[in-house]
A and B are shown apart, each in its own frame.
Chain A
Amino acid sequence: MKRCDLLVDVGRRRFLSGAGLAAAGAAATTMVPQAPARAATAPARVTYPSARLVNIKDLKENEPIAVTYPDADAPGVIIKLGKAVPGGVGPDRDVVGFTTMCPHKGFPLHYNHERRTLNCSGHYSVFDCEAGGQETWGHATQNLPQYSLRVDANGDVFAEGLDELLYGRLSNVL
């Protein structure tokens, strides 16, 4: 899948350039989830991997970290926003995660630090990270897919699900 690799690569580069995190490539260390064991009867919903994305100590307010979830082909971001927000986890309920593939046409989103929005350079869509990824303005017919996050006792932040279909796949887990 040449196009797909390109997309993810472009996504990372565009996202990172937008976020101004030149050295954060290493932060995108994510586990590549194992495929779920084959069941005798297919479950009604896809089985999401539980993936450790970051440790809460790695997070600085308003400094997003690039991640992938639920697999390496699905770029996303973890952000600590500094105030309790919808879907936020952690002691301050302020840590959120989103896909960074625009649900309109799959272009990579970049982060606006001042507004705390994710923006699409393809067709100008804007998603609000402090409002559950609500499409403030844009063309996608979905609000931005957000990660279901869990923080364990060590402060590790795990993604364990998504609340909307990701762009470019007809099943969130391939």
Chain B
Amino acid sequence: MAYKRQTDRLPIIPANAKEHNVTCHYCIVGCGYKAYTWDMDQQGTTEPGGNKFNTDLSKQQGAETEAWYSPSMYNVVRQNGKDVHLVIKPDPGCVVNSGLGSIRGARMAEMTYSPVRNTELQRLTDPMVWRYGQMQPTSWEDALDLVARVTAAVINEQGEDGLFVSAFDHGGAGGGYENTWGTGKLYFTAMKVKNIRIHNRPAYNSEVHATRDMGVGELNNCYEDAELADTIVAVGANSLETQTNYFLNHWVPNLRGISMDKKKEQLPNEAHAPARVIIVDPRRTVTVNACEIEVGKDRVMHLAINSGTDLALFNAWLTYIADKGWTDKAFIQTSTGNFDQALTGNRTTLEEAARITGLSVDEIRQSAEWIAQPKEGGARRRTMFAYEKGLIWGNDNYRTNGALVNVALATGNIGRPGGGCVRLGGHQEGYSRPSDAHVGRPAPYVDQLLIGGKGGVHHIWGCDHYKTTLNALKFKQAYKRRTDMVKDAMSAVPWGDRPAMVAAIMDAIRKGGLFSVDVDIIPTQIGQAAHVWLPAATSGEMNLTSMNGERRMRLTERYMDPPGRAMPDCLIAARIANNLERVFREQGKNEVADRFKGFDWKTEEDAFMDGYHQHEKGGEFVTYARLRAMGTNGFQEPAIGLEGGPPAAGGTTTGQTAGVVLQGPAIQGARGKEPVLLASPQPGGSAAGVVAGSERIVGTKRLYADGKFNTKDGKAVFMETKWRGLQAAGKEEESKKFAFLINNGRTNHVWQSAYLDQQNDFVVDRNPWPFIEMHPDDMAELGLKPGDLVEVYNDNGSTQAMAYPTDRARRKQTFMLFGFPSGVQGNVVSAGVNEFIIPNYKQTWGNIRKLADAPEALRGYSFKSKEYTPPA
């Protein structure tokens, strides 16, 4: 039975409620919200003067009203030690979402920690340690002392390579410029940690190395370009579900023809029509369905390629477009290099591509025409290329990424209105770290090293490998074995005898054990193996800055207290540094201890000023005070000046500017925005000083608008990207050995690995187990009814899911929810990676068998089609 809250009314926001800027801390789109808080014993009234909306709330409000919020947008939280009412609702004034709220973001209030209303009581409130055979609360001093002593002891014995780190690298919740800087300064400046990985992949690397190597940062356009494009090409992306309000607020207007006036105004003297859409995806998604409904099937091509064959399609596009003479020759001449070599090296006929991809020659030809055939009147067609995990976590990541950027460059579609070649993104971004050049390329395959017994101590920051890594079952088996050795050793020693405790832990580590420190906001699945949990604060419990998929940077203002003693990650990193300094000094290692200076931050703003403000290009213009004044619209990075200030040089940094680090491994620092870390701090920057001025910041709408790219000579570089089949080791054999493609990805209801959603009744009611979408005929063959629990298995491992019938699926091609707590898809993903250790989650094959009939929780559950149907 569908979950219902039985809420019949909500407290009204009084006119004098406090208002805070909020950017949704979940997906890349970063919708603008406002948080309203007011005293517990106050309430607004329905009269216009008595509420925040100045509206008569005794009347029914119309569609899209500002003057309504759902029960999920309300909670009671602590603010400065007092309970207050909280409403977090979408901001109609934000240009990103124009008041739209997704099923994830519009639950932010309900996903806050509230002992009063029993929400998210899983949140960690105290440091916890493995004591007497279970996790027990302790003080920060006690927990940090143990972490520092064991970490120092491991470094003393094994060097810094004995310290393994898993750390978020993004913005939004579990990230942000403050926190990536805090962790980055600890591991890359105070130390030079090499054995480090990122939250969703087993090494410290870029997911989009190729585009960066070509000189094209991956977040190079603006959301308005989706309103201006003649053709939108979406590769391995399901934007209605995973960049929801970007799709609804910026793609749909172009499909409906609503953005036609904007096109005519901004791009006069050329023909305009509603957009055409090309979607490359083996699976028919709700995005395909929505596009067909909005613009008509004759303007939508769903290219349902054989899984993992994108590269062959892109090479055929490039070949056909060049042979037809539809390339942008002037742009290629002045702004790029290596075109002829790439064209020759990648030459692929329509027929060859058809054979590899399973598409028809006509489909490939027609899609190439939609991309590049000049418009009526001869104007260049404006095509926006957007890709995400279907490409990034797909076969031959590096070359496939490069092959798509080739097509975008050849057609002159980067840096221009209605164009762009961009990743769509998962999380928001918020990367500000010192150089990672010492990590090297390829970076160490951290998961394999941990499985192989390497390392003595593991610091985990907002990652849960148990749910979100590849080869997850084997990883969990090894990790549990190694951490259990340390747990058993700890249980044999009295807690109060610190020297004996550290000695026992070190003894277990010498025998192959691993000491695990987990910094997170909740007890995670990998946390079950950890010996110390350190409670972190999240967005809204701290001030936090991030940027979205068009580099739009905003400040989410703190509107509530963190749970218990939880602290921002940047301050946890600083306190770890302080304790390591103390312990090394105690050991007489003053030279080592000195490296841990510079962590005297008291607030997250201190970390921001030390990091972003001093080190990021344009950071000198950016302060909390100015971001507050910029509200939910913020500015688009890089900042190039202040309104009313002296004229600043805009344009693209090409390597000619002294002091700017470009290319090489440090390019990771760019995270797709053009500015990268400065080699030395900005002169006059203040680490701890708070700048009060609230001038408006001037940003950058599109990158590369000047036709210059991120290379020494400013020219983008075409890449040779030959098709080489299923690239990762063992994938080809796996595809032949097992019956079903176990494609995988996200679903609309659930954010990320459901770390918060797992305690949200509304979400769990719909997703008690991960679904696996199957064709009804495949289910019939296996004797499956809707909701039956099935085992998915192959040589890598096994996992479980609930069968969800859909005739959208092709026979023998399933789609399973990724990263879900009650059935981890990563268990059946092989350890195979590309040359830069990028995982290949998507190309996974397995067998399926029934485990059990549908559980009671699925009584009254909807197994109907997820596709919307228009009125008959």
Contact = CB atoms under 8 A, between A and B. Distances in A.
A168 B868 contact: no
Interface in B1-51: 1-10, 12
A171 B865 contact: no
A164 B72 contact: no
A105 B102 contact: no
A171 B61 CA distance: 11
A28 interface: no
A46 B9 contact: yes
Interface in A124-166: 124-126, 128, 130-146, 162-165
Given A164-B7, A168-B68, A170-B12, A119 B869 contact: yes
A18 to B, nearest CB: 4
Interface string B44-75: 00000000000011111111110011111100
Q: Which of A3, A7, A20, A165 has the largest count of B CB atoms less than 10 A from its CB?
A: A165
A121 interface: yes
A18 B871 CA distance: 4
B807 interface: no
A119 B868 contact: yes
A142 B59 CA distance: 21
A63 interface: no
B526 interface: no
Contact of A122 (B6, B10, B63): B63
Contacts of B5: 142, 163-165
Contacts of B867: 126, 137
B65 A143 contact: no
B4 A131 contact: no
A115 to B, nearest CB: 6
Contacts, number: 194
Contact of A171 (B8, B286, B868): B8
A136 B290 contact: no
A64 interface: no
Interface string B851-870: 00000000011101111111
Q: Which of A122, A123, A124, A169 has the largest count of B CB atoms less than 10 A from its CB?
A: A124
Q: Which of B9, B110, B862 has the largest count of A CB atoms less than 10 A from its CB?
A: B862
B9 A171 contact: yes
A17 B871 contact: yes
Interface string A1-23: 10110111010001001101000
B103 interface: yes
B523 to A, nearest CB: 25
B639 interface: no
Q: Which of B8, B57, B765 has the largest count of A CB atoms less than 10 A from its CB?
A: B8
B455 to A, nearest CB: 42
B62 A7 contact: yes
B3 A143 contact: yes
Contact of B60 (A10, A123, A146, A169): A169
A45 interface: yes
Interface of B: 1-10, 12, 56-65, 68-73, 100-103, 106-107, 110, 240, 244, 248, 286, 289-290, 293, 748, 762, 765-766, 860-862, 864-872
14 contacts: A4-B61, A7-B63, A86-B2, A105-B100, A110-B871, A124-B240, A126-B867, A134-B861, A134-B862, A141-B71, A143-B762, A145-B4, A163-B5, A163-B6
Interface of A: 1, 3-4, 6-8, 10, 14, 17-18, 20, 45-46, 48, 71, 73-74, 85-87, 101, 103-107, 110, 112-113, 115, 117, 119-126, 128, 130-146, 162-165, 167-174
